[in-house]
A and B are shown apart, each in its own frame.
Chain A
Amino acid sequence: MPEIKVTPLGAGQDVGRSCILVSIGGKNIMLDCGMHMGYNDDRRFPDFSYVTQNGRLTDFLDCVIISHFHLDHCGALPYMSEMVGYDGPIYMTHPTKAICPILLEDFRKITVDKKGETNFFTSQMIKDCMKKVVPLNLHQTVQVDDELEIKAYYAGHVLGAAMVQIKVGSESVVYTGDYNMTPDRHLGAAWIDKCRPDILISESTYATTIRDSKRCRERDFLKKVHESIERGGKVLIPVFALGRAQELCILLETFWERMNLKAPIYFSTGLTEKANHYYKLFITWTNQKIRKTFVQRNMFEFKHIKAFDRSYADNPGPMVVFATPGMLHAGQSLQIFKKWAGNEKNMVIMPGYCVQGTIGHKILNGQRKLEMEGRATLDVKLQVEYMSFSAHADAKGIMQLIRMAEPRNMLLVHGEAAKMEFLKGKIEQEFSIDCYMPANGETAMVTTNPSVPVDMSLNLLKREMALGGPLPDPKKPRTMHGTLIMKENSLKLVSSEQALKELGLNEHQLRFTCRVQLQDPHSDPDTLHRVYTHLKSVLKGYTIQHLPDGTVMVESIVIKVSSSAEDVNAKVLLLSWSYQVQQSPVIFSSEPFNQFLFSSSRKGFRHTR
C-alpha cells in the first residue's frame, strides 16, 4: 500500500521555524524553512541533520516550497541552502520572492551586526540562495519533474502568501502555510477548490479561538488608540514591516481622516516606503476593493502617516508609532518600549501572536517586571493591550477550509500541543477523518489507496455504455468483461478479441459436437425442417434460424442432420457449439440447454412417431 509520510522538523506542536518534510509517491518535498523567534541558539533553525545524517539535502529533496515571507517560514532558507547545502529548486510566489530577501537581510543585520554573532549566513549567501528560487503564480500547475506537480492557491494572511497542493499521480497533499479565511482591509480570504487531498496540513495558531467579528476588533482598536491620544498618551504598536502594518495603517489613516485628528502617526524604519511600494506593484494580490479602485486612489499612499525618527520618541504630546519588530524581541520597537514603559498614560498594543521567550509574550502574560540585559529590571507601567489582528484562521476558519477542500486526512502543525489536541478532537468528531499532530522529528504515516488509471479501448467502453442504457441503474449493475494488458508502463483494457490481436496471438477454437441418434423416415432436409418447426414451437423467445446451407441455428448452436449410409432412417443429429457459447441473458448455460434440446427433440419425434 502506498504511504504518504509527513515529518515536521519545525512547527510540530509548536509555533516557529516551520519546516515540514513530506514524502509522497517517492518524492521528498520540504515545506517552508523558517526560524524560531524564541531561541538564539541552535534551536532557532530546524534540525536538518534529520536528513543530512543519511546524505546530502540536494540528493534527498526534490524541491523546497516557501509559503510566505514571514521569517518563521523562510528565515532558515539561506542557512539551509548555502550552509547546509541544497542546490535544487525553491518555489515561492512573486511577492514572496521580492520581499523575502529584504527581511532575511534585516534579520541577518540584527543578528550579526547588533548582536555580534558569527557563523551566520552572509548577504552574499542570501543572494545566492535567491538565485535558486523559481517564482510561482497562483493556480499555475508547475511540473517540478515528470511526476511531481505543485499548484499555489491564495492564502490571504500576508501579501503573496500561498497554500500549495503537491500532487504525484493521484495522491496529493495540501499545505496551507499561514492563512486567513476572512478578508481584511487589504487582503482577500484564502480559497481552495474541492481538491480532496489525501492529507491537508494546516496551521493551527488559533486552534481554540473563535474570534468575534473583525469590525468589533477594529472598533475596539480605534477606541483604545483614540482614548490614549485624548489623554495625551503615546501609543506603540509593534508590527512586522509588511502585513498587519499595512492593514492597521489603512485603518488608522481612514479613522484620522474621518475624525480629523491631528496627533502624528509614525512608521519606523526605512522599510515603510519600500514596503508600500510592494503593495502598489503587487496590487493584484490585495483584496477586491483595493484592486478595483487603485487607478483612482491607491490605498497604499498614506497622507497622515510619516516616517519615524529615533529622536521623535522623546517629543512631548501624543503620538502613534508603528515600530518593528512585532514581538518586542529586538530593534526599534524594543527601544521605544523601554522608553515609554514607565508612564501609565502610554499604551502598547500587541496586534499579533507572540512567541514564547519574547518580551511581547511576557508582558501579554501579565509580567510587570522585566529582566533586561545587564541585570537591569524594567518596570512596566504602561497599558498593555492585545488585539488579535494577525491574520490566521481561527477554529471556525480551519473547519471552513476542511469543508472546502474535503481532505481524507488532516494534519496539524504551527500551533500549541494542547490547543491542537482540542481541535483534533473536534475535527475527528465533525468530519470523521483521522487527524494527526506529529511533534518535531516524529513521522505521521498515512496509507493511501489510489485507483489505478488504465486506458480502456473506446470500442469496449462505448459498447458497455450503450448496453448500460442512457442512465445508470444502481439496482442493476452491469458487469463488463475485458482483458487488461500490462506492458512496460502501460495498462490497457481491451476486449478479449482485441487483446489477442494486439498480442499477436492466434485464437484457439474449442468446439464441441454432440451426436444424437434418431429414427426418422423423412429425407435429411425434411428431418431438419421438422426439427426446426418443432424447436420454434417449443423454444419461445429464442432466435432460431433455418439457414440455406442446410443448418438450423438456435442462438449460436448449430444443428445439422445426416443419415448413415446403411440405414436411411437412422439419422444423426449433430449439435455443435463453441466453448464460449453463452446467450445473454440466458436462463441456461450451454450444457443444460443441450439437455433440454435433446429431450424436447426426442419428445417431439416420439409425438410424430
Chain B
Amino acid sequence: MKLYCLSGHPTLPCNVLKFKSTTIMLDCGLDTTSVLNFLPLPLVHSPRLSKLTGWTSKDGTVNLEKELKECAGRVFVDSQPEFCLPERELLDLSTIDVILISNYHCMMALPYITEHTGFTGTVYATEPTLQIGRLLMEELVNFMERVPKAQSATCWKNKDLQRVLPGPLKEAVDVWTWKRCYSMHEVNSALSKVQLVGYSQKVELFGAVQVSPLSSGYSLGSSNWIIQSHHEKVSYVSGSSLLTTHPQPMDQSSLKNSDVLILTGLTQMPTANPDGMLGEFCSNLAMTIRAGGNVLVPCYSSGVIYDLLECLYQFIESANLGTTPFYFISPVANSSLEFSQIFAEWLCHNKQTKVYLPEPPFPHAELIQTNKLKHYPSIHGDFSSEFRQPCVVFTGHPSLRFGDVVHFMELWGKSSLNTVIFTEPDFSYLDALAPYQPLAMKCVYCPIDTRLNFHQVSKLLKEVQPLHVVCPEQYTQPPLSQSHRSDLMLELTPPPMPYRRCSVLNLPFRRRYERVYILPELANSLTPNEVKPGVSVATVSAVLHSKDNKHTLQSVPKPPPVAPSKKRKRVVEEPPVGLAPKPLLSGAVPLESFLVTLQKHGITEVKVEETPDGHILHLQAEDTLIQLEDDGTHIVCDNNEPLRTTLRDLVLRFLQKL
C-alpha cells in the first residue's frame, strides 16, 4: 500500500492511494497562491498599472521589461495569472480509478487531472460539493475570460533567467508546470465524470474496496472519507470543523479503528479564534461605515460568506446600519445564495428545523427580500446605476489578482476612509496588497478559518486512535515564524509520517486476511470438531472462485459418472487434480492405550524399550519397530503393506487431524 503525494499545500491536498488493486486519488486541490506573482487583471483600463516600468536586471544583461513589471519594490509577471498544478510526473494519471473529493475548495484542479491525461475513472462527491464547486470554477473561468490578455509571458520561466530574478519569483517552484485557467468546456467535461454520493453511503470499488464519505462539518457537503476493505481501514481527513457553523456536524466516531489516518486541511490560522475574528470584522465594518467610508470584503462566493451574512443579519439593526447597502458581486452570486437554501439535508440541526416550518434556512433570504442585500453578476450593468456609497461590498477573488475586487481596490484604495477587510485565510494579505501599494485605504486582517486547530486535532486523534498518522510535513514542526510554539504542531506516538510534494510513502500495512464466502451447500457439509473448549476446526476442501475481486468457496463437484460408451475414449491421463491431501496431525499417542489397542488387533508380542524422548515398541512377531515420541511416530517395517496400513490407522486413532 502506497501513498503518492502530488501537492505540497497542506490545505489544498492531492494524494494518490494505492490500496489493494485500486488507485484512488484523494482530493484535487489547486494551489492558487502562485497568482500572487502576477499583476492584477483590471476590469477597466487602469492607467496606474499600465504605467508600471518593466524590469531589467541591475547590470542590464537580462531584459524582461515586456513580461515583468515593478510595483512598489516588487516584481510581478504581466500575464494571465497561472496556477500551480498537482504534480503530474510522479505517476501515470490515466491509471487512477477514482477521485474522492472532500469539499468544493479541494476540487479546483479537477479539469487538469480528468482532461487530457487519459483519465477514464469516476469522481465521487456530494451534491453540494458538486454544485458549489461548479459555481466556483465557473466564477474562476469567468474572471479570467472576461478580461483576456493578449500576451502570455513565458521567457521569465527559463531556468537561467529565473535564477537572477528578485524574490519571491526566484524561489517559485516548478514554474514551467504552471498553467493558465481551464475553459468552461473543460469544467463541464470534468464535472460530467462526477457521481453523487450521500454521507455514509457505501460505495463499492471493483468489489475490492469500499469507500464512504462522512460529514466533516467544514462546509456544505464537505466530507472526510473512509477507504476500507473487510480487514483494513484508511481514514482520509480533509478540511474538518468542530465549530457550530452552518454545515452538518462532523462525524467523528466513524473514524475509529483506522489503521492509517491521512490528516490534511487543518486551520491555516492556528492562533486566530474564528469567533474573535468575526467580532472584529463587525466592529471594523461598523466603524468605517459610520465614518462615511466603504468596506470591501474580498471573499469566495460560497462558504464563510454565508456565516458573515448571517452574523451581519443580527448585527445590522443593533449597529444602526439598517440603511447601509450591502452588495454581493460575483457572476455566481445569485446561484450561490439560491443553492445555499436548498441543501437542507446537509445543514446543521437548527437550520434543518427551519426548513421543516418551511422557512429558508439562511437569513440572507430575508436580507434580499428587504433589499438590504443586493447581488449582481458584475460591476457592469445594473450595479453601476444602483450603486450607492457608503456601502459594503463582498466580492472576489480573495487573491486580489482578478475579479471585481480589483476594480474596488483601484477605486477605493486612495482614500483612508475606506477599509478592506480580509476574511479568507488562503492568501497572505500583505502579498495580496503588494501590487496596490502605496495604499491609503485601511487594511484589516480577520482571517476566519474554521478548520481544526492543533488542540482539537490532538483531542480527536486521542479519541479515534488510529494506528498510524500521515500528514503534510508542515504539521510536524511549529510554523517558521513561531518556532517556539511547540503547541502548533502534531506530537504523537508513534510520530506521524510526514509527506511533502513528490513523496512516495509506503504505508505500514500488513494485510493478512481476505473475506471469502462459503456457499451454503459447502457450509452444511463441513464437520467441525472441537479441539479446545470454544474452539472448533473443520477441514475444508473446496473450489475457489474469484470474480470481480469477490471470492467464494464451493463444494468440489463430484466427477460425472463415466457414461458407458462404446466409443473408445482417450484414456484420461490426468486424474482429477488435487486429491484431498492428508491432514496434518497433532497430539501424542499414549503408550498404555496404544498397547491395549495393539492387543485387540492381535499384536501381542510387544517389547517396550524406554528412550530419552519416548518409547520404542518392538513388535517381535512382525519384526516391526514403532517409535513413539511426543511429537512424532515412526513405523519401521518390511514391505508389508497390509500391516503398515493397519498400524497407521491404529496410530491415527489417537491423533487430531487438521
Contact = CB atoms under 8 A, between A and B. Distances in A.
Interface of A: 94, 97-98, 135, 137-143, 151, 170, 274, 277-278, 280-284, 294-295, 449-458, 461, 464-465, 468, 472, 476-488, 492-493, 496-497, 499-500, 503, 505-517, 579-582, 584-587, 589, 591, 594-595, 598
Nearest to A505: B586
Contacts of B492: none
A478 B516 contact: no
B355 A281 contact: yes
A294 B338 contact: yes
B360 A580 contact: no
A540 to B, nearest CB: 14
A456 B338 contact: no
A479 B541 contact: yes
Main secondary structure of the interface of A (DSSP, over half): mixed
A458 B513 contact: yes
A170 B632 CA distance: 44
A461 B546 CA distance: 10
Contacts of A478: 543-544, 577-578
16 contacts: A98-B355, A451-B517, A454-B515, A454-B517, A461-B514, A465-B544, A477-B556, A483-B539, A503-B531, A503-B535, A508-B631, A509-B585, A510-B655, A513-B636, A514-B644, A580-B584
Given A478-B578, A481-B581, A457 B540 contact: no
A281 B520 contact: no
B155 interface: no
A496 B515 CA distance: 18
A468 B544 contact: yes
Contact of B358 (A98, A284, A449, A458): A98
B199 interface: yes
A454 B231 CA distance: 11
B518 interface: yes
Given A508-B631, A508-B655, 18 more contacts: A97-B356, A140-B200, A143-B200, A277-B359, A281-B344, A282-B344, A449-B520, A450-B520, A451-B552, A452-B523, A478-B543, A484-B539, A486-B535, A486-B537, A499-B584, A512-B635, A585-B578, A589-B579
Contacts of A587: 575
A513 B634 contact: yes
A141 B201 contact: yes
Contact of A479 (B577, B585, B588): B577
Given A98-B355, A598-B639, A479 B543 contact: yes
B517 A452 contact: yes
Interface in B344-403: 344-345, 352, 355-356, 358-361
Name which of B127, B199, B342 has the most chain A CB atoms within 10 A of its CB. Answer: B342
Contacts of A506: 586, 630-631
B651 interface: yes
A507 B516 contact: no
A135 B352 contact: yes
Contacts of B519: 451
A508 B614 CA distance: 13
A478 B528 CA distance: 23
Contacts of B631: 506-509
Q: Pick from B537, B579, B630 the residue with the most CB of A within 10 Å.
A: B537
Contacts of B245: none
A509 B613 CA distance: 14
B557 interface: yes
Give me the 5 closest cross-chain CB pairs, A-B, nearest first: A509-B632, A451-B517, A455-B513, A98-B356, A513-B636
Nearest to B640: A514
B580 interface: yes
Contacts of A468: 544, 546
Interface of B: 127, 197-202, 212, 230-231, 334-335, 338-339, 341-345, 352, 355-356, 358-361, 511-520, 523, 526, 528, 531-532, 534-547, 551-553, 556-557, 574-575, 577-589, 630-639, 641, 644-645, 648, 651-652, 655-656, 658
A234 to B, nearest CB: 31
B648 A451 contact: no
A281 B201 contact: no
A512 B541 CA distance: 26
A140 B198 contact: yes
B637 A451 contact: no
A457 B511 CA distance: 9
A582 B579 CA distance: 9
Contact of B639 (A141, A480, A482, A514): A514
Nearest to B531: A503
A295 B342 CA distance: 11
A484 B584 CA distance: 13
A94 B518 contact: no
A214 to B, nearest CB: 26
Contacts of A278: 358
A333 B127 CA distance: 39
Contacts of A516: 638-639
Contacts of A507: 584-586, 631
B632 A511 contact: yes
Contact of A482 (B338, B540, B638): B540
A510 B199 contact: no
Contacts of A137: 198-199, 345
B518 A454 contact: yes
Given A451-B517, A500-B586, A516-B639, A142 B356 contact: no
Contacts of B541: 479-481
Contacts of A140: 198-201
Contacts of B547: 472
Contacts of B199: 137, 140
B658 A499 contact: yes
B523 to A, nearest CB: 5
B516 A493 contact: yes
A452 B635 CA distance: 41
Given A137-B345, A465-B546, A496 B584 contact: yes
A176 B513 CA distance: 37
Nearest to B523: A452
Given A281-B360, A481-B581, A514 B637 contact: yes
B586 A458 contact: no
A458 B514 contact: yes
Contacts of B535: 485-487, 503
A479 B556 contact: yes
Nearest to B655: A508
Given A476-B577, A484-B540, A513-B634, A282 B342 contact: yes
B276 to A, nearest CB: 33
Contacts of B534: 487-488
Contact of B583 (A139, A496, A517, A586): A496
A86 to B, nearest CB: 22
A485 B538 CA distance: 7
Contacts of B342: 280-284, 294
B358 A277 contact: yes
Contacts of B581: 481, 580, 582, 584
B578 A510 contact: no
Given A464-B544, A509-B633, A477 B200 contact: no
B519 to A, nearest CB: 5
B441 to A, nearest CB: 34
A295 B534 CA distance: 64
A249 B521 CA distance: 57
B632 A484 contact: no
B542 A505 contact: no
Contacts of A274: 358
Contacts of B580: 479, 481
A499 B356 contact: no
Contacts of B637: 512-515
Contacts of A141: 200-202, 212
B514 A496 contact: no
B505 to A, nearest CB: 22
B658 A511 contact: no
Contacts of B551: 456, 461
A457 B512 contact: yes
Most buried by B among A97, A137, A580: A137
